[in-house]
Amino acid sequence: MSRRPQYSIRMRSAKSGGHVSGAEGIYEKHDISAIVKEYTERALIHDKGAADEIRITIEELREKPKKISSLPLYTLNTKNAGAAKKAAREILTSVGITERAVEEAFTSLDVGITMRGAMLMNIEGVRLEPDLLRGVRVTRMGITKKAAADLARKLGRLGLNNSTIKEALILASKVHKYRMVLGELCISDDPNYTTGYIATRTHGYIRLPRIKKRGVPFGGRAFFITGGEVKDLIKYLQITPVVISNIKPCEGVVTLKEILQRRAHR
Instruction: Please report whether residue 212 would count as binding ligand WAQ according to CB under 6 A.
Output: no
164 binds ligand WAQ (CB under 6 A): yes
How far is the CA of 58 from the CAs of 14, 151, 239, 245, in angstroms? 18, 25, 14, 21
Minimum Å gap between C-beta 251 and ligand WAQ is: 12
In the bound state with ligand WAQ, the residue whose beta carbon lies nearer, of 193 and 236, is: 193
Size of the site for ligand WAQ (CB under 6 A): 23
Beta strands in the chain (DSSP E): 6-15, 18-28, 53-60, 66-69, 73-76, 119-122, 141-143, 181-187, 196-200, 204-208, 220-225, 242-246, 250-254
Q: Check residue 24 for interaction with Mg ion (CB under 5 A).
A: no
Q: How far apart are CA 232 and CA 201, in angstroms?
A: 19
Query: Rule CB under 5 A: is residue 189 a binding residue for Mg ion?
Result: yes
Least Cβ distance, residue 21 to Mg ion (angstroms): 6
The CA–CA distances, whole Å, from 233 to 28, 55, 200 equal 27, 26, 16
220 binds ligand WAQ (CB under 6 A): yes
Give yes or no for a contact between 182 and 225, defined as CB atoms under 8 angstroms apart. yes
Q: For the chain, what is the total number of helices (H) and then of strands (E)?
A: 7, 13
Kind and range of the H or E run holding 152: helix 145-157
Distance in angstroms (rounded) separating the CA atoms of residues 231 and 52: 34
Which residues on neighbouring strands pair with residue 19, listed in sequence order?
Answer: 14
Using the contact rule CB under 5 A, the part of the chain among 45-53, 93-101, 131-139, 185-193 near Mg ion is 185-193
Of 90-98, 144-152, 161-169, 227-235, which part binds ligand WAQ (CB under 6 A)?
Answer: 161-169
Residues 86-115 that bind ligand WAQ (CB under 6 A): 114-115
Nearer to Mg ion, 184 or 189 (CB): 189
Burial of 131 from C-beta contacts in 10 A (0-12 / 13-18 / 19+): exposed
- In the list ligand WAQ, Mg ion, none, the entry touching 204 (Cβ below 5 to 8 angstroms by class) is none
Binding site partner of 118, from Mg ion, ligand WAQ, none, Cβ cut-off 5-8 A by kind: ligand WAQ
Applying CB under 6 A, which part among 77-85, 89-97, 193-201, 256-264 lies near ligand WAQ? 193-201
In the list 51, 121, 181, 186, the residue contacting ligand WAQ (rule: CB under 6 A) is 186
Considering only residues 105, 165, 185, 216, which one is a binding residue for ligand WAQ as defined by CB under 6 A?
165
Interface with Mg ion, residue 190, by CB under 5 A: yes
Contacts of 23 (CB under 8 A, 6+ apart): 10, 11, 39, 42, 163, 167
For ligand WAQ, the binding residues (CB under 6 A) are 22, 114-115, 117-118, 137-138, 164-165, 168, 171, 186, 188-190, 193, 195-197, 207, 219-221
For Mg ion, the binding residues (CB under 5 A) are 189-190
